[in-house]
Amino acid sequence: MAAVISASGLSKRYGRRQAVGGLGFAVGSGQVCALLGPNGAGKTSTIRMLVGLSRPDEGEARILGEPVGLGAPVLRRVGVLIDGPAFVPHLSGMANLKLLWTATGRAWPPPALDDALDLAGLGAAANRKVKGYSMGMKQRLMLAQALMRAPDVLILDEPANGLDPAEVRALRERLGRLAQEGAAVLVSSHQLAEVQQLATHAVVMNRGRLVASGPLDELLGGGDAFRVEVDDTRRAAAVLREARSVASVAVRDGHLVVTAPGTPPAEFVEALVTAGVGVMSVTRDGRSLEEAFLTMTEGEGEHAAR
């Protein structure tokens, strides 16, 4: 995979606090990657370094192979949503978009203005003054700002904040479509459920450090792992250990965890049933990332410190 967005050894300190430490990951073309972590994990600090708004103490961020720094030319190809651009309150949403776009020396309108406005769903409100906008409207205008240039790289800090479920769905569809067309998308979030809706891949961080990264279904253990409830775990485990398609069988809390790469579960269920084992349920084993994430967000993190 050619990395479109990459971080290597990225580190940032604020005084004595290590906000990001030795972080490395890569996002390729066609991926919607979530930067996932609890509050204070270092997501915003990471994103600021990725878009040249802050300088890493150590390590390097690259986009499309080019080192990123303030004003780096490659950043013109990146749609960014972070802390909001400061909209001018007495101008309309549309006038603000125009101001931001033409400030970069380009002719109005940008290539994907209509699509971006469509997603922002502001309708006639796009022509009203921003000072009358709700938080959600401002957030959607920020999204329009990031998307109007039809970027092939998108870096969005908590883009779903303040959006309702229908708007999150529309955002997912739009990001999915951009990725299908070859864009690389990085979105930060502190909510696993939201990430499951939006992303194909995830980079999980906690206290500034990398916890896990990879395709979301692998991280969720759902790619090839199944939780199987049976009436006789010992016998079922013995049967499955003999089955050709099954790579591993473990007994956990009275049920089986079965990995069978590239095989539909019907195959090993049939083997069980043929051997006379009663099968009560088969579900994807979605525990690993969820468990890891819950452990992270419980108690001892920034939540408790604040």
Chain residues in the site for ligand ATP (CB under 6 A): 14, 17, 19, 37, 39-45, 190, 302
Nearer to ligand ATP, 11 or 44 (CB): 44
- Which bin fits 182, alpha (ψ -120 to 50), beta or left (φ > 0)? left
For the chain, first and last CA: distance in Å?
Answer: 39
Nearer to ligand ATP, 53 or 257 (CB): 53
Q: Residue 20 in contact with residue 45, Cβ under 8 Å?
A: yes
Closest distance to ligand ATP from the beta carbon of 206 (Å): 9
Closest distance to ligand ATP from the beta carbon of 108 (Å): 33
Closest distance to ligand ATP from the beta carbon of 213 (Å): 16
| Helix axis angle, 165-180 to 113-120, nearest 10° | 150
Residue whose entry in the numeric block shows the structure tokens 């990995």: 259
Closest distance to ligand ATP from the beta carbon of 135 (Å): 16
Q: What is the dihedral of CA 251, 256, 257, 261, to 10 degrees?
A: 120
Nearer to ligand ATP, 19 or 112 (CB): 19
Nearer to ligand ATP, 149 or 207 (CB): 207
Closest distance to ligand ATP from the beta carbon of 31 (Å): 20
Nearer to ligand ATP, 97 or 296 (CB): 296
Between vectors from CA 101 to CA 99 and to CA 104, what angle results, nearest 5°?
Answer: 105
Q: How far is CA 101 from CA 85, 105, 144, 171, 186, in A?
A: 12, 7, 11, 21, 22
Residue 19 structure tokens? 């906000």
Closest distance to ligand ATP from the beta carbon of 144 (Å): 22
Q: Helices (H), strands (E): how many in the chain? A: 11, 14
